[in-house]
């Protein structure tokens, strides 16, 4: 299982703490330090939908140019998220074929049968 995110993100911190509390083995992948593979991003978009992965409510989205904010489709969203990883809804937890976006304790409990 891999948890993707950014170390200083509050929601990522909550997810990491929850995982540690439940003593679950996890690899943490920091977008900023470790980079991001386009194939991973495409997989998440395929599973969860690019509109869910692409966070239009983020500060990073508001900082984009008007040209970047218009006519967004999956290809453009992926390109933008690769350039600006903070546009990705965090954290992204990949457990087998499941992709969970954001931290929702009830969802985590369900996935891990806790």
What residues does 101 pair with on adjacent strands? 92
What domains sit in the chain, N to C, each tagged with a CATH number?
Answer: 2-111 (3.40.30.10)
Active site residues: 9
Q: Is 64 helix (H, G, I), strand (E, B) or coil?
A: coil
What mean pLDDT comes out for the span 22-50? 94
The pTM of this model reads 0.91
Q: Which residues are within 8 A (CB) of 59 and not within 5 positions of it... i.e. 6 or more apart?
A: 86
Instruction: Specify the pLDDT at position 112.
Output: 87
Structure confidence at residue 23 as a pLDDT band (50, 70, 90): very high
29: number of Cβ within 10 Å: 18
Do β-strands 98-101 and 92-95 pair in parallel, antiparallel, or remain unpaired? Answer: antiparallel
The yes-or-no verdict on residue 114 having pLDDT over 80 is no
The H helix count followed by the E strand count for the chain is: 8, 4
Mean pLDDT of the chain, nearest integer: 94
Question: Is residue 98 classed as helix, strand or coil in its secondary structure?
Answer: strand
């Amino acid at each position: 299982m891999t948890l993707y995110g950014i170390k200083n993100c509050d929601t990522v911190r909550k997810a990491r703490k929850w995982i540690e509390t439940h003593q679950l083995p996890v690899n943490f992948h920091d977008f900023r330090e470790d980079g991001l593979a386009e194939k991973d991003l495409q997989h998440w978009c395929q599973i969860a939908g690019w509109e869910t992965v692409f966070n239009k409510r983020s500060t990073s989205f508001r900082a984009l140019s008007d040209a970047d904010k218009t006519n967004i489709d999956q290809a453009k969203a992926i390109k933008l998220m690769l350039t600006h990883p903070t546009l990705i809804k965090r954290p992204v937890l990949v457990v087998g074929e499941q992709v969970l976006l954001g931290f929702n304790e009830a969802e985590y409990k369900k996935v891990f049968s806790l």
